[in-house]
C-alpha cells in the first residue's frame, strides 16, 4: 500500500500535466494568480505569483494552498475556521478581502488583497481561481477581514476575463460558445444579453435574446430572428457596432428619434419590450472580420452603464469573436471534409442474390476524412469484387491517397483477369512509382456467381490487413486467416498468396478496418475476440441492424481512428433473391 509520501508525489505529478496549459492562461492576467482543484491543491500558478511569493513551481504544485500560504497577522498558521478564503472556497462562491497574509518562500509575511472565484478547468473538473496583489500599508495586528459580497472592480474584471478566455476558447461549437457567452455576462454584468451575428451571406440575425429572471435564464425566441440590412453610414450604436466602428452606451432615448433604418426600428422595439434603461453595445470581431455585436442591457439593475464599462464589454466581445471565428472555421472544415468523403466513398452496386451494406465512421477528433475505405463493383466475368483498405493517415492527404488506391484497383481488377493476389501485386508495384502513398493495408476479394446448389466461392488476398470474419446463419464465427501477406508500399517484392472458401447460404461476411478492433491499452487479440463474439450474437438480425449494432457494441470507447466496414450476406435456403 502506498504511503503518504508516495501519494503526495503522485498528486504533484498529475497536476504537473495541467500546469503547462493553465499557466499560459494565467500569465495573461496582470496580477498574481493561481488555480486550485476541488481539494484545494494548487494546479498552476502564474509567473507573477511565483515571483511575489518567492516560490518555484515545484514549491507550489500539488500543495494545499491554505496550509502552504495562509497566515494570520503575526505570521502564524491560520486556523481553517477563521479563514475567509477557505469558507468562500467551500461555498463555491466569489468573494474578496482587502487585507490578508501569505507566507513567502523566504519566511517573510506578505500582506495581500485577494479575490476568489469558481473557475472551469475543462475535463479535469471544477476548480477555483485566486487572484491577489500586495498591499503596501496593512495593519500589523487585528482580526481577519471577512470577504465582502462586492469584489474589487479590477480583480473582478480580471477574474471575469480569465473565465471568459477559458470557457469560450474550449469549444469549437458555435451554439455552445454562444450559450457560454450568455452565462458569463448575465446576471454578472447585466440582466439582458443580445447577440446579433452576421451570417456568411452578410445578413444580420438576432441569434440570442436572453433575460436573467432571478437565477433563471429566460430565452426570448419572439425577439430573435432576421434583422434589416446594416446601413453604411448610420450613426446609431448598433449599426456602428455591426460595422465594427465603435462601442457605445445607449438608452431608450437613443432610439426615440426618427429612425434612419430598419435596424433602428428593431432597436426601439427591443428597448420598449425589454424595459432596458441602459445598454452597452460592442462589436464582436475576429482577426479577419466583424462577426456581429454584443449588447448588454440593464432593466432591473438601476445602475446604468457608463463609458468606463466599455473596455470590459469590448474585452469580452473580443474573446467571443475569436471563439466564434474558430468554431465557424472548424465547422466549415468539417462540412468540406464530409462532402469530400461522401464523394470519395462509392455507392454499393446491386448484386442479385446478395445483400450488402457499408458504414464509415470518421475519427472523433479528426477533420472528418481519412484513409479508411471500402469498395464493391461488378467484374466483367460476372463475379463481384470486394475491397476494404486503410491508407496511413487521418487527413486530406490520406483521403487523396485512398482515392488513388481505390481507382487504380478498379482499373487493374477490370482489365486484368487474374487472381486477387496478382492484381494486388500489380497495384503495389504501381503505387511506389506513380502515387504519394507511403503505406497501406488492404483485403481484395471476389465472389463468384452462385453454383447450382446456391453456394458462392470467395477468393481473396490480404495485404497486412485484419482478417475477414465469416459468420454462419447458426452463429458460428471464424476468421479467414489464410492468404495473408505484407502491407503495400514496402518494396519487398514478395509473392502474395490467394485463399478460397465457400460462403454457406445465409452466412455473413464482414470486412473492416483496424479502427473497429484496436484501442490504446488493449491487445489486438482482445479486439478480435470482442468482434467475433458480438458478430456471432447478432447473426440473426437483418443485415442493416446487424451492422449498426455491431459498430455500437464493438468500436472501442475513446477510439481515435476512423472505421470503414462492409458487410455482405448470402441468401438463406428457400429465401427469395435479395437486392443490396
**Residue of higher predicted confidence among 4 and 278:** 278
Residue 148, pLDDT > 60, answer no
Residues in the chain: 580
What superfamily would CATH give domain 4-165? PAS domain (3.30.450.20)
Average per-residue pLDDT for the chain: 84
**Residue of higher predicted confidence among 18 and 375:** 375
Per the CB < 8 A criterion, the answer to whether 116 and 94 are in contact is yes
Residue 270, pLDDT > 90, answer yes
Eight-class DSSP state of 221: G
For the chain, percent of residues with pLDDT exceeding 70: 85
- Helix, strand, coil in percent for the chain, rounding step 5: 35, 25, 40
Between CA 78 and CA 87 the distance in angstroms is 13
DSSP state letters, 248-277:
EEE-GGGGTS--SSHHHHHHHHHHHHH--S
Of 201-205, 458-462, 479-483, give the lowest mean pLDDT range.
201-205
3-state secondary structure 150-161: CCCHHHHHHHHH
For residue 10, the model assigns a pLDDT of 43
Tell me which residue has cell 434583422.
Answer: 227
Q: How far apart are the first and last CA of the chain?
A: 59
Q: How many CB atoms lie within 10 A of CB 405?
A: 25
Between CA 499 and CA 230 the distance in angstroms is 69
Q: Encode pLDDT of 354-400 as tens digits.
A: 999 999 887 665 455 667 889 999 988 889 999 999 987 656 666 67
- Mean pLDDT for 557-576 is 81
For residue 12, the model assigns a pLDDT of 47
Q: What's the CATH fold of domain 171-333?
A: Beta-Lactamase (3.30.450)
With CA atoms as reference, report the closest residue to 508 among 543, 555, 461. Answer: 543
For the chain, percent of residues with pLDDT exceeding 90: 46
pLDDT band at 149 (very low <50, low <70, confident <90, very high): very low
> At CB < 8 A and 24+ separation, what contacts does 134-138 make?
134/52, 134/110, 135/98, 135/99, 135/111, 136/111, 138/99, 138/101, 138/111
For residue 13, the model assigns a pLDDT of 43
359's CB contacts (< 8 A; 6+ apart) are 547, 548, 551, 563, 564, 565
Per the CB < 8 A criterion, the answer to whether 43 and 22 are in contact is yes
Eight-class DSSP state of 392: S
For residue 349, the model assigns a pLDDT of 76
Q: Encode pLDDT of 41-66 as tens digits.
A: 999 999 999 999 999 999 999 999 99
Highest mean pLDDT among 74-83, 142-151, 272-281, 320-329: 272-281
For residue 445, the model assigns a pLDDT of 97
Q: Is the pTM of this model over 0.85?
A: no
Between CA 120 and CA 128 the distance in angstroms is 8
**Kindly report the CA angle at 66 between 65 and 68, in degrees rounded to 5?**
65
Between CA 443 and CA 441 the distance in angstroms is 7
Largest distance between two CA atoms of the chain: 103
Per the CB < 8 A criterion, the answer to whether 267 and 281 are in contact is no
pLDDT band at 308 (very low <50, low <70, confident <90, very high): confident
Rounded to whole angstroms, what are the CA distances from 73 to 52, 54, 157, 540? 18, 19, 28, 76
pLDDT band at 327 (very low <50, low <70, confident <90, very high): confident
- Domain residue ranges in the chain: 4-165, 171-333, 345-569
For residue 288, the model assigns a pLDDT of 83
Q: Cite the DSSP H helix spans in 394-539.
A: 396-415, 420-434, 524-537
Beta-sheet pairing, 484-485 with 456-463: parallel
pLDDT band at 449 (very low <50, low <70, confident <90, very high): confident
- Mean pLDDT for 107-129 is 84
Q: How many CB atoms lie within 10 A of CB 355?
A: 19
**Kindly report the CA angle at 329 between 326 and 335, in degrees rounded to 5?**
140
Rg (CA), the chain: 32
Is 24 exposed, middle or buried, given 0-12, 13-18 or 19+ CB atoms closer than 10 A? exposed
Q: Encode pLDDT of 64-104 as tens digits.
A: 999 999 998 888 888 876 788 887 887 778 888 888 999 99
Residue 477, pLDDT > 60, answer yes
Q: Encode pLDDT of 508-554 as tens digits.
A: 999 999 999 988 778 899 999 999 999 999 999 999 999 999 999 99
Beta bridge partners of 387: 375, 444
Per the CB < 8 A criterion, the answer to whether 386 and 372 are in contact is no
Residue 8, pLDDT > 50, answer no
Residue 7, pLDDT > 50, answer no
For residue 436, the model assigns a pLDDT of 74
Between CA 192 and CA 182 the distance in angstroms is 9
For residue 345, the model assigns a pLDDT of 66
Eight-class DSSP state of 470: E
At 549, phi and psi to the nearest 5? -65, -35
For residue 380, the model assigns a pLDDT of 84
**Residue of higher predicted confidence among 320 and 149:** 320
For residue 226, the model assigns a pLDDT of 95
Q: Encode pLDDT of 186-213 as tens digits.
A: 988 899 999 999 988 889 999 999 999 8
Residue 262, pLDDT > 90, answer yes
Q: Note whether 4-165 and 345-569 share their fold.
A: no
Q: What's the CATH fold of domain 345-569?
A: Phosphatase 2c; domain 1 (3.60.40)
- Mean pLDDT for 297-324 is 89
Eight-class DSSP state of 570: P
Between CA 304 and CA 278 the distance in angstroms is 5
pLDDT band at 498 (very low <50, low <70, confident <90, very high): very high
Amino acid at each position: 500500500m502506498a504511503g503518504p509520501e508516495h501519494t503526495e508525489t503522485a498528486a504533484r505529478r498529475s497536476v504537473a500535466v495541467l500546469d503547462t496549459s493553465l499557466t499560459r492562461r494565467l500569465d495573461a492576467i496582470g496580477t498574481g494568480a493561481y488555480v486550485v482543484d476541488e481539494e484545494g491543491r494548487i494546479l498552476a500558478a502564474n509567473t507573477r505569483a511565483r515571483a511575489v511569493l518567492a516560490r518555484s513551481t515545484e514549491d507550489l504544485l500539488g500543495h494545499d494552498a491554505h496550509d502552504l500560504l495562509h497566515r494570520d497577522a503575526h505570521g502564524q498558521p491560520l486556523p481553517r475556521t477563521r479563514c475567509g478564503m477557505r469558507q468562500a472556497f467551500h461555498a463555491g462562491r466569489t468573494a474578496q478581502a482587502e487585507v490578508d497574509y501569505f507566507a513567502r518562500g523566504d519566511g517573510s509575511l506578505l500582506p495581500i488583497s485577494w479575490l476568489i472565484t469558481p473557475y472551469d478547468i475543462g475535463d479535469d473538473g471544477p476548480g477555483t481561481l485566486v487572484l491577489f496583489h500586495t498591499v503596501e500599508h496593512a495593519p500589523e495586528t487585528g482580526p481577519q477581514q471577512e470577504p465582502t459580497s462586492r469584489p474589487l472592480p479590477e480583480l473582478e474584471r480580471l477574474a471575469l476575463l480569465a473565465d471568459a478566455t477559458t470557457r469560450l476558447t474550449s469549444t469549437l461549437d458555435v451554439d455552445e460558445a454562444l450559450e457560454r457567452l450568455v452565462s458569463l455576462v448575465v446576471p454578472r454584468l447585466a440582466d439582458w444579453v443580445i447577440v446579433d451575428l452576421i451570417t456568411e451571406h452578410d445578413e444580420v440575425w438576432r441569434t440570442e435574446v436572453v433575460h436573467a429572471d432571478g437565477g433563471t435564464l429566460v430565452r426570448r425566441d419572439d425577439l430573435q430572428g432576421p434583422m434589416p440590412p446594416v446601413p453604411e453610414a448610420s450613426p446609431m450604436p448598433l449599426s456602428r457596432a455591426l460595422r465594427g466602428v465603435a462601442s457605445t452606451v445607449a438608452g431608450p432615448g437613443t432610439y426615440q428619434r426618427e429612425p434612419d433604418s430598419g435596424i433602428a426600428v428593431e432597436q426601439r422595439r427591443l428597448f420598449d419590450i425589454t424595459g432596458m434603461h441602459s445598454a452597452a453595445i460592442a462589436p464582436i470581431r475576429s482577426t479577419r472580420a466583424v462577426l456581429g455585436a454584443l449588447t448588454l442591457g440593464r432593466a432591473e439593475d438601476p445602475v446604468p452603464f457608463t463609458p468606463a464599462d466599455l473596455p470590459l464589454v469590448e474585452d469580452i466581445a473580443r474573446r467571443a469573436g475569436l471563439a466564434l471565428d474558430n468554431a465557424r472555421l472548424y465547422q466549415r472544415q468539417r462540412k468540406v471534409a464530409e462532402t469530400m468523403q461522401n464523394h470519395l466513398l462509392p455507392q454499393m452496386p446491386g448484386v442479385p442474390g446478395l445483400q450488402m451494406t457499408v458504414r464509415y465512421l470518421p475519427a472523433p477528433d479528426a477533420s472528418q476524412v481519412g484513409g479508411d475505405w471500402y469498395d464493391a463493383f461488378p467484374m466483367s466475368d460476372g463475379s463481384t469484387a470486394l475491397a476494404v483498405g486503410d491508407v496511413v493517415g487521418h487527413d486530406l492527404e490520406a483521403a487523396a491517397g485512398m482515392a488513388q488506391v481505390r481507382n487504380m484497383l478498379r482499373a487493374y481488377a477490370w482489365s486484368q483477369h487474374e487472381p486477387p493476389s496478382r492484381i494486388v501485386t500489380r497495384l503495389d508495384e504501381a503505387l511506389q512509382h506513380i502515387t504519394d502513398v507511403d503505406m497501406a493495408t488492404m483485403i481484395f476479394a471476389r465472389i463468384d456467381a452462385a453454383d447450382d446448389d446456391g453456394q458462392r466461392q470467395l477468393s481473396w488476398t490480404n495485404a497486412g490487413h485484419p482478417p475477414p470474419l465469416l459468420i454462419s446463419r447458426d452463429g458460428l464465427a471464424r476468421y479467414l486467416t489464410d492468404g495473408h501477406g505484407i502491407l503495400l508500399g514496402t518494396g519487398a517484392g514478395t509473392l502474395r498468396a490467394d485463399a478460397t472458401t465457400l460462403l454457406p447460404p445465409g452466412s455473413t461476411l464482414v470486412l473492416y478496418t483496424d479502427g473497429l478492433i484496436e484501442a490504446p491499452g488493449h491487445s489486438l487479440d482482445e479486439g478480435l475476440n470482442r468482434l467475433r463474439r458480438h458478430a456471432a450474437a447478432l447473426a440473426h438480425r437483418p443485415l442493416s441492424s446487424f451492422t449498426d449494432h455491431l459498430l455500437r457494441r464493438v468500436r472501442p470507447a475513446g477510439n481515435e481512428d476512423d472505421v470503414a466496414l462492409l458487410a455482405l450476406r448470402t441468401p438463406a435456403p428457400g429465401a427469395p433473391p435479395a437486392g443490396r
